[in-house]
Structure 1
């Protein structure tokens, strides 16, 4: 197979091939070229060679190519959704939604590319003028996860290209097919050879180390676990690289006594069960006021019991977890919670397929100290903790090293905003179960990451600020 994209050429990987497995059926859906460090260096060769011409390309021309890529992605929505479902396992509804979301990053950053930004003014002492401008940071290394194989790639590629950078991309080994398909569409759109290079491979650490060791690579953007993010930050620190890290989460979902419970349950179904709970923004722990806990649990449980679990091709709502390791981890968390007093309040019907399925479940009687509350679940499990004191609630909500997303459902909007301001999270959904939007600055506090993706901030992550002090 020729699946390594370097300088517009599809090449074989230096290490042979590896299998891509459907986690719903455990069947091999493709064999992909297995790249290594030499391929990674060759990709940087191509990106570095393409950088001068691409960074000098007019912003309007870059924007037109990004818009064309969006059009091609939307044209191929069904093919891309089927590809995502086959390698990731998510439902076709979720996969189609991801394609639309992923394509939108090309439109947003096409629009941002043509909006001039800078500054001009006189110095306080007089006699000089300061002109502030921005340069593309250079060759950018992008490392993406498996849970959103299209959107996590486009959320990085689009702003990098809009800013005038060239890129080398390492997609997750579990889901390389979608990134490769998007790269082919970018080639069809007319993006020049060498501007986007894709290096799939099983040995991600070796590939990425080749990039962090290469002085031509000036930027690394990573989405994944906090543990891996820490390792990459240590590597990047040796060269003082420009870094963006979108890392783990442990999102609280707060329901107050005066909340609209219909809206709260609708929001919970999105925040918790979208992509089978395998999202860094997924609601991880539910804090429901004691006055409405029984009713909220009953309503949420009734919805959960109706979820259909199985392969995407069968029209399921909930697909499999990505791997046997992920399945073992959530099984451990739930069993540990049950041993310490939690109980299964509601559960969906189990899947009959052989894949890595975990049946969606609602847990009650969960303590704030339980591992299922303190660790990122990444599965369709909704643990409910009750509360009465807002001060105690905030102490529990903020008692974590993570601070990516949170959700607040309350009848009094002013009270909801005041509560949200005291939650240590970079994004808070207020009376809605979705926070991601290309026009919003996606990112977290504390050990959930560094930098922002989306909005104007997402473009600025791929630029360096320069100013001229001009004698006047």
Structure 2
């Protein structure tokens, strides 16, 4: 991006084009002097332009959120919060098709996926927290004790943690935004939401909807877009921000944790994954091979919880590889607007370069490319890819690819499978398949991850806590645990006589 010699953005200067969507700061929809383009990853063409916020914009948003938290009744008025969440849910439902079309164009998400985790399921997160807020206890009685000849009643109250900086990734922008917004608002917090630079328009559309259709008071929700790092840095270091909720790469999560340490902010991190799918020797190889192939192609592999390592019994390795390769060849990819498309593009040329580079380095290190490993133009498509002969400790088996790349790793027995699955810096998700339910559950309990699918079980829902072990993050999103990430506990004691 061009700039003047000082590096500051000139007032009134516009780069690329006029803003398609506006930011939300203190109840007002506003633009910025500078904009940046959002690119359709299926075509490489421009979808629209987003305002490029500055550190001053971030400061204004934090000030608005601080004022709304400190000087209004938002944090304590439960009925108001329930009403606003109800209205937010209705607005999302009413404008669902507008959001669907924008999600397909900007995210490259196949239309079929928007009827699940890309849009329709995230909308129900708002419904879940509106209903939970009506019944979730805010007070816990600890009972009375006698101390030094007096009776003392003790109880614990839950209250809002304060101002939240919510920073999202590009891959599931509706899911990630609403999984932060809904519980934070239900808890009584105020929020500054920053969308990902690759998918800013869908998050800005959410901000416009909040401003126009929900009755949420000014300053309670603020929505920013920026393509540089300065806004994120401003939010994570600002003394008036109490909680940072971030979804993205582990490397960025480490930087955020370090930045937030200066003011000892509460930090929630949902980071990377390198999840293993274990096929035990009594599994249905036809069904599980299809499951593994289609899982790695879901949103072109751009999901932190996707199982990217397939662990198979050594004696059946070749048979499973043939099945998976055949299934990958049948995955329909292409135009995400086509209802028949299962796999869309990667988000950018930069991401496709990263994926292709990791595949090429794996082959140079001795892995066998069974199928895929090719770019497809126009757009940022990459063919579903299968690698064998992979060292379990190599880059391709240890680092997150975020593309449609599956590695097959043989194991000798159940203990060996568990050892390989756990030999990872990550611990977000995983899967176990077996005809013996008890055996599958026993193996699953030994895997050190935050979520586990057994024989195709789907754990992802608004009421199910989601998060990881080790370098996959800190804390849990969704469910009751997701609400409590945004609450503080205060203990009271009253002398009775």
Q: How many residues align?
A: 469
Matched, 1:104 2:129: no
The Cα of 1:122 is off from its aligned counterpart by 2.7
Instruction: State the superposition RMSD in angstroms.
Output: 2.0
Matched, 1:380 2:380: no
2:47 equivalent in structure 1:
29
CA distance in 2, matches of 1:56, 1:369: 48
1:162 equivalent in structure 2:
186
| Helix, strand or coil at the partner of 1:344 | strand
2:27 equivalent in structure 1:
8
TM-score by length of 2: 0.90
> Over residues 395-453 of structure 1, what are the superposed CA-to-partner deviations in whole Å (9 max), with x where a residue is unaligned?
22111111111111111111111111111111111112643221111111111111110
The Cα of 1:228 is off from its aligned counterpart by 0.6
1:321 equivalent in structure 2:
346
> Over residues 191-235 of structure 1, what are the superposed CA-to-partner deviations in whole Å (9 max), with x where a residue is unaligned?
2221110110112x3112222333221111000011111111111
CA distance in 2, matches of 1:96, 1:350: 27
Alpha carbons 1:54, 1:164 under 8 Å: kept: no
Alpha carbons 1:29, 1:86 under 8 Å: kept: yes
Of residues 215, 218, 237 in structure 2, which corresponds to 1:190? 215
For structure 2, the residue ranges without an aligned partner over 5 or more in a row are 1-18
CA distance in 1, matches of 2:451, 2:410: 23
The Cα of 1:249 is off from its aligned counterpart by 0.8
For structure 1, the residue ranges without an aligned partner over 5 or more in a row are none
1:463 equivalent in structure 2:
487
1:445 equivalent in structure 2:
469
CA distance in 2, matches of 1:76, 1:261: 42
2:90 equivalent in structure 1:
71
1:334 equivalent in structure 2:
359
2:139 equivalent in structure 1:
118
The Cα of 1:68 is off from its aligned counterpart by 2.6
Moved more, 301-310 or 241-250: 301-310
CA distance in 2, matches of 1:254, 1:314: 33
> Over residues 305-355 of structure 1, what are the superposed CA-to-partner deviations in whole Å (9 max), with x where a residue is unaligned?
11222231344321111122211221122222223443333449974x411
| Helix, strand or coil at the partner of 1:313 | coil
Alpha carbons 1:278, 1:379 under 8 Å: kept: yes
The Cα of 1:101 is off from its aligned counterpart by 1.7
| Helix, strand or coil at the partner of 2:369 | strand
TM-score by length of 1: 0.94
CA distance in 1, matches of 2:138, 2:284: 42
